[in-house]
Structure 1
Amino acid sequence: MRYIFDLHRTMVAKSLILAYEGEFTQEITKSVLSMAERNLDSLGEESNIKRKVFNVMVECLQNIAKHSDEFPETTLRNSAIFMIGKEEGDYIISTGNPIQKDKVDFLRSKLDEINSLDKDGLKALYKEIIKNGELSDKGGAGLGFVDMARKSGNKLEFGFEPIDSHTDFFMLQTRISRG
């Protein structure tokens, strides 16, 4: 029973507004977005900040829904996480989901490239992807990550934790500054 208290204490300490772990279907995604929007409304957040936060949340949730890998083991299936919190007045949107190890290097290089660019570089990359982006079979060319970096105005924080010899847990965090 102690884990309930520990989890609550962590959520309060991290100023988490919403946390969800599990399956991300279209319906669940809508519900998570709706709950987060209500929480932002109850905090009396300005509409331009709400719009940025909402847009980044949509990209993050779409990323989980579209790009989570299929795993035969039931322990990995439906094990993605989404959290939104506040830190020093900024909103922090965090996600995590298992991915195949063979995708880690590609994903890391894509995110490193995005993080190396300034505002104008991100705009140019966005246009380039729209114009000649090679879409994957799941519809992505890194456009969502570029959009998150552009909308947040900050670098994307990310990491990979090994789960087993074939799988890593991909973590992504986006900060939306209020000022």
Structure 2
Amino acid sequence: MKYVYELHKTMIANNLILVYEGEFTQDITKSILAMAERNMDAIGELGGVKRKVFSVMVECLQNIVKHSEELNEKDEDGLKNNAIFMLGKQINEYIVTSGNPIRNAAIPSVQAKIERVNSLDKDGLKDLYKEIIKNTEISDKGGAGLGFVDMARKSGEKLGYSFEPINDEYSFFALKIIVPRSE
């Protein structure tokens, strides 16, 4: 039972106010958003900040629901097809973090989209957003990179990311977005 206390201390040390690990569905996404809303309402968060955080959260959660790969067998650490979502609150910012398995073959495309987004300033992001909307046929799964552009525009910050190998076929994609607490 000591792990419960250790987890609690880790959450406090990292200022985590919401953590969910497991299967992600549209219903679970709605529940996560409702919990975050109650938490932000309880501390009296400003409306504009709350809208930006929600927008980023929705994009992260949709990425997990639409793009997370299901692993058929557990890896050496016992991970299966689970993803994770975390919301942290610092004095001056919220930190939205997500992680999910993706195919190794998808890494170059995902990395290129994020690097392109991170290379642009505010006006460049606005132009890229318009370009994607105008020139790209977006499938039900998305995939055009619009979510990354939208998260960068809402947060005003660069997107943090990493890929941790799971096995020869999959890696764990982690995404971190910082949303300033000032409007």
Q: Quick check: TM above 0.5?
A: yes
TM-score (norm 2): 0.93
Q: Secondary structure at the match of 2:162?
A: strand
Deviation at 1:137, TM superposition (A): 6.0
Unaligned runs of at least 5 residues, structure 2: none
RMSD: 1.3
In the TM superposition, 1:3-152 aligns within 5 A as 3-73=3-73, 76-136=79-139, 138-152=141-155
Relative to structure 2, which stretch is displaced further, 117-126 or 81-90? 81-90
| Amino acid paired to 2:166 | I
Structure 1 segments (4+ residues) deviating >4 Å: 74-77
**8 Å CA contact retained: 1:76, 1:98:** no
Q: Which amino acid aligns with 1:66?
A: K
CA distance in 1, matches of 2:115, 2:6: 34
Secondary structure of 1:171 counterpart: strand
Does 2:164 match 1:161? yes
Unaligned runs of 5+ in 1: none
**Alignment partner of 2:138: what SS?**
coil
- Amino-acid identity (%): 61
Pick closer, same or farther for the CA change 1:149–1:83 going to 2, 3 Å. Answer: same
Question: How far off its partner does 1:65 sit?
Answer: 0.3
How high is the TM-score relative to the length of structure 1? 0.95
Match of 1:172 among 162, 170, 175: 175
Contact 2:160 2:177 in 1 (8 A): yes
